[in-house]
Amino acid sequence: MAFHGITPVPGLLALFLQSEPSPVPPGAVIVKLMPPPSDLETLADILFQSLGLSGVLAVTGMLFGIVLGGLVFWVRRYRSA
């Protein structure tokens, strides 16, 4: 798709890219005000952390059960042979 009759201004992009940001005085202190976390945010954080810990414990228990079951199976199989 071509736009006939529209020619880009040469160097326009370079002009925007080379423009300097507004000068900041040397002794300026920049402060960003943040709202305090609400009760819902902290409750959500606690729930995610507890679910994460429960998930790790559940996966660890399953892996331990699989390894222990395989060990018992291997011991009984080769002990009877």
Kindly state whether residue 25 falls inside one of the protein's structural domains: no
Cα–Cα dist 69/81, whole Å? 19
17 lies in some domain: no
pTM: 0.41
pLDDT in tens, 44-76: 787 777 888 888 899 999 999 999 999 999 999
What is the rounded CA–CA span in Å between residue 13 and residue 65? Answer: 63
Q: Is residue 54 part of a domain?
A: yes
Domain boundaries, position 78: 38-81
- Kindly state whether residue 68 falls inside one of the protein's structural domains: yes
pLDDT in tens, 6-50: 555 556 655 666 666 667 778 888 888 988 877 766 777 877 778
